[in-house]
Structure formats: C-alpha cells, structure tokens
Amino acid sequence: MNQNEKILEVSHLKKYFKAGKGVLKAVDDVSFFIRKGETLGVVGESGCGKTTCGRTCIGIYDRTEGEVLYKGKDVHSLKGQDKKDFTKEVQIIFQDPYSSLDPKMKVGDIIAEGLRAHKMCASKEEERKVVNDLLETVGLNAEHATRYVHEFSGGQRQRIGIARALAVEPEFIVCDEPISALDVSIQAQIVNLLIRLQKEKGLTYMFIAHDLSMVKHISDRVCVMYLGTIAEITDSGSLYSNPLHPYTQALLSAIPIPDPKVEEAKNRIKLEGELPSPINPPEGCRFQNRCKYACDRCRCERPELKEVEPGHWVACHLTDK
C-alpha cells in the first residue's frame, strides 16, 4: 500500500443552506486530503460544520461549490456502476445509534441490508454466516442477530452500526461523532474497536468529534474547524505539542489533565465573546471577535490556509510575522 496515496481530495468545498431570508454557510471554502490507510480527525465546537463537511464529502449532501474526488473521481458526478461501487466502498457510522437503526428490523436484517443491495451472498446460509461473523468481529454474539435494537445498550447499538458499515467491505468510513452519545466508560471500547478494525482491514477513517483527547488517541492527522472554515491541519503529534492557531491553543488548554497539581498550574485560555452565527459570519477572519491577537488586517482580510512548516497548515495572519 502506498502510504502517500490520497484516497479523498477536497478542494474549495462549500455547502450552504437556505435559512429564512439568509444563507447558512455551514462549510465555507475548505480544502484537505486524506491518505489511504490513515485517520484524519476533524474537531471543533458544535455547529462548526464538521458533520456537514463529512456528509458532503461522501455525497449525502450535494455540494454548493467546490470539488470532492474519491480515488480521482468526482463524488458528486458519479452515475451508474461508478455510483454503486462508491456506495459499497464508502460507508458512514452515525452519531446516534438510537435513531440510525430501524427499531422494526431485527439486527441480522439491519446488517444484511448492504449485503443484499450489492448481491454479495449467494445464499441465505452464506448471508447468515457473514452476519454472524460480523457480530463476532465487533464484540457481539451470533444469537444477537434475531433480536431488535431496543434490547441493546447504547454501546452495543453502536457496535451494530459498525457491523452494518463493515458488511459491504468498505475502504473508507466517515465516523460521525460515533462516541459522543455513549457513556465515557464505553467510549474507549468503541475507539479501540475502530483502531483494531482499521489495522485488520486496512480502513481509512474521517473521524469527526469534539473530544480532543479521544481524537489524539485515534488520529494520524487532525483538522481543526471553526465556523465552517479550517483553522489548522497537521499531524497529531505536532498539533498537541505545537498548536499555532489561537483557536487550537484555546481548545487544547481546555483539555483536563488527570494530575490535580498540573491542572491547577496550567494556563487555561478563555475565549472571549460569543460564537458568531454561520448565517452572518464576520468579515475577514472568522475567529477575530474572540481572538486577543486580532488586528485590523484580521477584521478585513480572510486568512488563507498556508503550509507554515512541512505538513502543518494554518489559516492565521499571525504566522506571516
């Protein structure tokens, strides 16, 4: 496997929604790539456009502008067999296992839906074996196939959602906040399961979350989003050891440290002001009204995402100095 092969390339992607008389700019001119076999973590506050970006990248939402290439093909122009191949190779694990699984269907039928749609099993017997194997893979039992989802805990339901995504043997999975609806005690189990599956099956992940400590655990690189734009992208180690964007610095300073003395002594960066509306975002830098370093240039000129160190991209005028 070529570690530098880009499986997903996103260029100047925009996704706008009509909101009354205005326009909600959920994703506003973002560009990034994901290499085959890696995990790109996408983080930011609620409402920053993470989920909309992920769903637009895999064609659940139409784009407003820009381009998304999966293995060199435009995701939003796929038709016929190419479209069918894409829906097999690319899957999503949803945030809420309570609402993303049909309560009227048995677990075995939920997992087998994709197998049937793509005619992957020659017989009912083969289908049953595949479903049972998938249940075992995600830490459940074959007997669970005959039950309904209301009989399971939140963590078990998310495992069913993962089994459903794995059924069609995908290469790329968007994990849309797959742990945020779960108890903290279960979150690490699900993340460790995803890491193990990635190693075993050579999967590529776009892992969307707002928990920076969990993102560090699973991600090779991290993309920080703010109000529909990208603030910073770099490898996981660099982001946590050398954050360059003021917003990233503030986010990282808020991560609790389990040592009380270290926690008490650390410098917590408190963001000023309110998160602006994506319907009426500020001119220039989106972060300017909450940034203590903001200058006149920040208020009138939007910063470009620039590579300031090898593999470290930042959208901030301060990096020019």
- Read off the pLDDT of residues 283-320 as tens digits, 9 standing for 90 and up: 899 999 999 898 999 999 999 999 999 999 999 998 87
Question: pLDDT-based confidence at 180, cuts 50/70/90?
Answer: confident
- Which residues, at least 6 apart from 147, have a Cβ–Cβ distance to it below 8 Å? 106, 107
Domain segments of the chain as ranges: 6-320
Average pLDDT over residues 239-243: 93
CA 32/CA 47 separation, integer angstroms: 19
The confidence score (pLDDT) of residue 47 equals: 86
* Cα torsion angle, 213, 218, 219, 220, sign: positive
The model's pLDDT over 110-161, given as tens digits with 9 standing for 90+, comes to: 999 999 999 999 999 999 999 999 999 999 999 999 999 999 998 999 999 9
Say what the pLDDT of residue 1 is. 42
> What residues contact 78, with CB distance under 8 A and at least 6 apart?
59, 86
Q: Is 272 helix (H, G, I), strand (E, B) or coil?
A: coil
Of residues 184 and 91, the one with the higher pLDDT is 91
Contacts of 261 (CB under 8 A, 6+ apart): none
Computed over every residue of the chain, the mean pLDDT equals 90
pLDDT in tens, 31-66: 999 999 999 999 998 889 999 999 999 999 999 999
* C-alpha separations of 38 from 42, 93, 243, 277 in Å: 13, 17, 21, 33
> Which string of b and e fits 151-174 if b means at least 16 CB within 10 Å?
ebebbbbbbbbbbbbbbbebbbbb
pTM: 0.91
The pLDDT assigned to 258 comes to 64
* Architecture of domain 6-320 in this structure: 3-Layer(aba) Sandwich (3.40)
Helix (H, G, I), strand (E, B) or coil at 244: coil
179 three-class SS: coil
